[in-house]
Homo-oligomer: A and B are copies of this chain.
Amino acid sequence: MGLTKTEIFTEDQNKLAQVLKALAHPARIAILQHIIASNTCICGDLVNELGLAQATISQHLKELKNARLIQGTIEGVSVCYCIHPENWEALKHNLNDFLSTFKGSTQCC
């Protein structure tokens, strides 16, 4: 198979998993950190910073865009990326809600 059975899970579970999948790669974490660190939009110097080919970076950026974690606007010949503020906040809250449902009080196992 190799195909996730999305139909047996809730929409929330599927959505959270999808965003986390976009985050779950060191290159994409590095890209996001880089975008955040240079607090203005970052144009495509990512290829120089990370040790990956231009095609690969472009692909990772696409996935981050699909997950709506970043947005890009064309700036002349290059493209300008930045965090999607609303969706970033939403993820932060969703994740915190999920992780906070566990109250580590009861001793078990």
B95 touches A36 (CB 8 A): no
> In this complex, which of A21, A89, A104 has the most chain B Cβ atoms within 10 angstroms of its Cβ?
A104
Contact of A95 among B30, B39, B99, B102 (CB under 8 A): B99
| Chain B residue nearest in CB terms to A93 | B99
A100 touches B109 (CB 8 A): no
Q: How far is the CA of A83 from the CA of B102 in the complex (A)?
A: 8
Which positions in A face B, CB cutoff 8 Å?
4-6, 8-10, 13-14, 16-18, 20-21, 23-30, 33, 36-37, 39-41, 50-52, 71-73, 80-83, 85, 88-89, 91-92, 95-96, 98-104, 106, 108-109
- List 20 additional A-B contacts (Cβ < 8 Å) besides A8-B52, A41-B108: A5-B51, A8-B50, A8-B51, A9-B26, A10-B26, A10-B30, A13-B29, A17-B24, A18-B24, A20-B24, A21-B21, A23-B24, A24-B24, A33-B98, A36-B101, A39-B103, A85-B104, A88-B104, A92-B100, A95-B99
